[in-house]
Amino acid sequence: MHDSDPLNHGHLLVVVNGRSIPMPEGSTVAAALLTANAPCRTSVAGEPRTALCGMGICFECRAVIDGVPHQRSCQIPCRDGMEVETQP
């Protein structure tokens, strides 16, 4: 990860579509989805989508977080053991 990180942030594990992904503390779920190379959601026409605006307004980053659908993953910090799935 960020090997130049002077503070050596701790990592936590987030499960994205069944795969464990280590993320630096303070990361958002959108960053975890991108790190896992997983789309956030599937569009109305069936296209895979990832976050666009990064600031909570485009809703492209909606994902299922700990079982709750349509969460804006760019506004939600990762927690250790969090389960994230691509929004169908």
Partner 1 sequence: MSRNFDIVVVGSGPAGLAAATAAAALGKRVAVLDDNPKPGGQIWRAGIHPDRHPDPAKARTIAAFSASGAELFSGHQIVNASGPGIVDAWVESTKTLESFTCDKLIFATGARERFLPFPGWTLPGVFGAGGLQALVRSGYNVRGKRIVVAGTGPLLLAVAAHLKEDGATIVTIAEQSSISRLTPFLGSLLTHPKKLRQGVRLRASLLGSPYRTGCWPVAVEGHREVTAVRLSNGARTWTEPCDLLACGFHLVPNLEVAMLLGCNIGADGVTVDENQQTSVPHVYCAGEPTGVAGVDAARLQGEVAGLAAAGDTQNAGRLYRRRNAEATFGKAMNRAFALRPEVLSLAQPDTIVCRCEDVRYRDLDAQRSEHSAWTDAKLQTRCGMGPCQGRICGPAIEQLFGWKNNSVRPPLYPIPVSAFCKANSARVDSEPNALPRL
Could you say whether residue 49 binds partner 1 (CB under 8 A)? yes
Which CB sits closer to partner 1, 47 or 67?
A: 47
- d(CA 85, CA 17) in angstroms, rounded, equals 5
Q: 37 or 83, CB closer to partner 1?
A: 37
Residue 64, C-beta contacts closer than 8 angstroms, at least 6 positions apart: 70, 71, 84, 85, 86, 87, 88
CA distance 16 to 21: 7
Indicate which single residue of 17, 66, 75, 79 sits in contact with partner 1 (rule: CB under 8 A).
75
30 binds partner 1 (CB under 8 A): yes
Asked if residue 29 lies in contact with residue 68, where contact means CB atoms within 8 angstroms, the answer is: no
| In 1-88, alpha helices (H) | 29-35
Contact pick of 31, 63, 64, 84 for partner 1 (by CB under 8 A): 31
Provide the binding-site residues for partner 1, judged by CB under 8 A: 1-2, 5-7, 9, 23-28, 30-32, 34-35, 39, 43-45, 47-60, 62, 70, 74-78
